[in-house]
Amino acid sequence: MIRFGPGNLRIPEFQKPVFAVAGGLTDFRKRYPEKNSCELTMDAMRMAVEENNLKVSPEEFRRKVNWCVYSQFADHFGDQLLAAAKIHDYLGFDPLGNIEVKTGGATGGSSVLSACQAVASGYADCVPVVGWERMDEVTTKVGNSYIASAACKDFESELGWMYAAYYALMAKRYQLENEVPHETLAKIAVKNREYARHTPFSQNPGKYTVEDILKNEMVSDPLTFLECCVMSVGAAVLILCDEKVAYELSDNPVQITACCGGTHTLRTADRRHMPILLLPNETEETYKNYFSGDRQDWPGFSSFLAARMAAYLAYHMAGIKDPVKDLDILETHDAFTISDIQTYEDIGLRPYGHGREFIESGEAFFEGALPTNLSGGLIGSMHAVGATGIFQLVEVLWQLQNKWGQFHEPEGLWTRYGKTKPDDFRNLQVEGAKRGCAISHAGTGSHVTCTIMEKV
């Protein structure tokens, strides 16, 4: 049982406002032997500085930077310790200080949090956050065992060496407690792969039906291959500044009004029952009849306390009362269809037990109340782990800057990555989007960050 003391739920504060001015991505691929990790981060950095309408040249930008944050999930995959030093040098930032952040799948989100802390405290005023992962130097099966090294190696990894299996255990329990139809889960996979068709950056776009997903081969019952995220190679860059530098660089910076993190046990097994931590849009009444029948535990295997904790802090910090109403765009860490449904509840889009309604109502879709994962997400577009949380925020930034078209529509971008724009290409810019959110997530919910961005 976790009992919060008075200090535990303190709402974080930024001493100075933090702004995002630019973002850059590579495309994401299963294998990318043409470029090494240094080159990939350079491509993402170039896009951030040269293609975001900044008012400076790369050389002038480099002269403004005073701290860097690097984001790579696994030295196992990169097979290069201190890779950040190599990349920092390659990007021309020596001898400035830097830090490399590691929190599993949430490494990208935590790196942005670290950069926010640097800017908000006044330690730095211009900070590139650089994320990458190269997962193509081992077979997929070895890759899966590397990833499963991020489960508990004493008590859990040996049981399959496969993260999807650890999520499948949660999925089964969620289905028992909440009766979510497999069709609803499949709709998430269909949706995100569909949106991935309209972005030149995506690795696994495709037109699928719910039937295709359901009939697909099992990885670990009930999760099919098409319900699991991709394994990618690629990079992402987000540039954070204080207010003064933000406006020197850009005419339309976006403010980061909250960036907060939560955690929970690496082993799902160790999650003891506790009272539900309520979000601003919930009361005791919301869960009056929650614990009944098979539902006796919270967070149990159906919910992520880390996500609830991150959302609790971020919503209070950014003044979010009702996320579906107050947010215009959302990127979730859709590593698996089931974890997406669980996350909808953890971040208060629906009360616990009702996550399916967020998909079934159409709210999660483009032109719905809160379009979610228009980027294609981890299922459709990418999961180059260290880049993922940054990729999400780059996509949110462009939406809030009304630049989605600029970075997804031009034929030149599609040909840059050797792709053909589909004939039925759709512009997925959310009209008038003012406030966005991204959830970065590790383990079976060991670390989660929640970042809120707002148009100024």
Nearest to 351 by CA among 290, 296, 297, 304: 290
Residue 326 beta carbon to another protein: minimum distance, rounded to whole angstroms: 34
CB-wise, 9 or 142, nearer to another protein? 142
How far CA 39 is from CA of 99, 325, 370, in Å, comes to 20, 41, 35
Residue 411 beta carbon to another protein: minimum distance, rounded to whole angstroms: 25
Residue 187 beta carbon to another protein: minimum distance, rounded to whole angstroms: 21
Residue 16 beta carbon to another protein: minimum distance, rounded to whole angstroms: 37
Residue 138 beta carbon to another protein: minimum distance, rounded to whole angstroms: 8
CB-wise, 164 or 450, nearer to another protein? 164
CB-wise, 254 or 385, nearer to another protein? 385
* Alpha helix ranges (H) inside 293-421: 305-318, 323-326, 337-346, 356-360, 385-400, 404-408, 411-416
CB-wise, 145 or 281, nearer to another protein? 145
Residue 171 beta carbon to another protein: minimum distance, rounded to whole angstroms: 7
Q: How far apart are CA 334 and CA 168, in angstroms?
A: 14
CB-wise, 141 or 325, nearer to another protein? 141
Q: How far apart are CA 296 and CA 290, in angstroms?
A: 8
Residues in contact with another protein by the rule CB under 8 A: 1, 3, 33-34, 79, 139, 141-145, 147-148, 152-162, 164-166, 168-173, 176, 217-222, 225, 267-272, 294, 301
Residue 283 beta carbon to another protein: minimum distance, rounded to whole angstroms: 26
Q: Which two tokens stand for residue 223?
A: 């999760």
CB-wise, 169 or 214, nearer to another protein? 169
Residue 308 beta carbon to another protein: minimum distance, rounded to whole angstroms: 19
CB-wise, 3 or 288, nearer to another protein? 3
Nearest to 186 by CA among 353, 57, 379: 379
The angle, 0 to 180 degrees and rounded to 10, between the axes of the packed helices 337-346 and 163-178 is 60
Position of tokens 């069709």? 183
Distance of CA 355 to the CA centre of its chain: 19
How far CA 35 is from CA of 28, 32, 235, 381, in Å, comes to 12, 6, 11, 19
Q: In what order do the strands lie in the sheet with 254-263?
A: 98-101, 68-71, 126-134, 233-241, 18-25, 254-263, 447-455, 435-441, 329-331
* CA angle 193–199–205, rounded 5-degree value: 25
CB-wise, 3 or 10, nearer to another protein? 3
Q: Which two tokens stand for residue 383?
A: 């999961």
